[in-house]
Amino acid sequence: FASVDFNVIFLLAGMMIIANIMAKTGIFQWIAVETVRRAQGRPYRLLVLTSIVTAVVSAFLDNVTTVVLLTPITFFVAQRLGISPVPFLISQILASNIGGTATLIGDPPNIIIGSQMGKDFNDFLLNLTPAATVALVAYLVFARWLFRRELAEATTALEPEDVQRLVAEERRIENPRLMRISLVVMGFTILGFLLSRMLGLEGATIALTGAVVLMIVAREDVHEVLKTVEWPTLFFFIGLFMVVGAVVRTGIIADLATTVLALTGGRTDVAALVVLWMSGIISAIVDNIPYTVTMVPLVQQLGQTVNVEPLVWALALGANLGGNATVVGASANVVVASMSETRGYPITFAHYLRYGIPATLVTMLVATLDIWLRYLVLS
């Protein structure tokens, strides 16, 4: 158990509890219906707004939790409007991974990198939020062309009367008191992350404190709340840390670091771009969580010879954005595809590739430009 990073485990658990209590208020349904109202029956605008909402929520909740909360709402809205949910679901997958890139708590790879590399919430805001924001804008502009056929079909199918009926019937918060409490606690939790270095607190301490305070103030049943925690995910992380810890002790990671250094000639600029694109490509093939756990010791080893800062952020950008390329590249992708199939809208591996690879290339080019300018030219 010495290899297990319990800061990651408890941070995830705390944020899961907060997110699941917030979900009971109906706030996410209200946001979705408000998004439909503002889209005014225009499919591209609806796709953009739902993607922005997903990205913003994913920046503050891990993206698996985000898609678990928002995907059922997308099905509900699509069914009521008489349009296919598939393009909106794929866009939500892409947006959740892009948005999750922006902050420490937005995506499990970031939580792992932050804990293992000693980076706090503010470090992620400074180094990743600008790149993630530009990547999201670039993707949304590109999405008009990427989903052009699907948007044309949705335009034909969409009836203004359906939009008006949905907005009129569903714009309500189920539990206003709990919503206010949840938002206040969530706000203080985020403030705690921002001040974590000054307070000398770990992310897990802040997240669990927020979760406990919310349970007490909202008078939630502890046993019922604990049932909503994704325990299989947490135990998966524990096992993964143990396996990677054993691999590190064998010396394989040190050998790999030596090989990478030899290939890059010991140059920071080349090493950063190699880590970025290697992370993007491998994360498209395997889930980015085990990849990140494996790569962090390698980056630490490389950091003994070259400047580690560009490598840290290259790893985060590559692992998060590369996970968008295939339906198995990130946990959120698999969750949405599974939920979609059970509702009669299968998203096959080949079908997803048509959207995932082009969108990933666009965002990876933004990341490449960001790494090159911020750390290799301007620094």
Determine the pLDDT at residue 342: 82
Least confident of 226-230, 280-284, 308-312, 371-375: 226-230
Give me the mean pLDDT over the 360-375 stretch: 94
Give me the mean pLDDT over the 360-364 stretch: 98
Q: How confident is the model at residue 169 (pLDDT cuts 50, 70, 90)?
A: low
Task: Tell me the pLDDT tens digit for each residue of 307-351.
Answer: 889 999 999 999 999 999 999 888 788 888 888 888 889 999 999
Chain-centre distance for alpha carbon 128: 13
Q: How confident is the model at residue 280 (pLDDT cuts 50, 70, 90)?
A: very high
Residue 6 has pLDDT above 90, yes or no: no
Determine the pLDDT at residue 249: 75
Determine the pLDDT at residue 157: 65
Most confident of the ranges 127-131, 269-273, 279-283: 127-131
Whole-number percent of the chain with pLDDT over 90: 35
Residue 170 has pLDDT above 60, yes or no: no
Give me the mean pLDDT over the 219-234 stretch: 84
Determine the pLDDT at residue 343: 85
Q: How confident is the model at residue 171 (pLDDT cuts 50, 70, 90)?
A: low
- CA proximity to 153, closest of 96, 198, 87, 201: 87
What pTM, to 2 d.p., does this model score?
A: 0.83
Is 101 or 195 the better-scoring residue by pLDDT? 101
Residue 82 has pLDDT above 90, yes or no: no
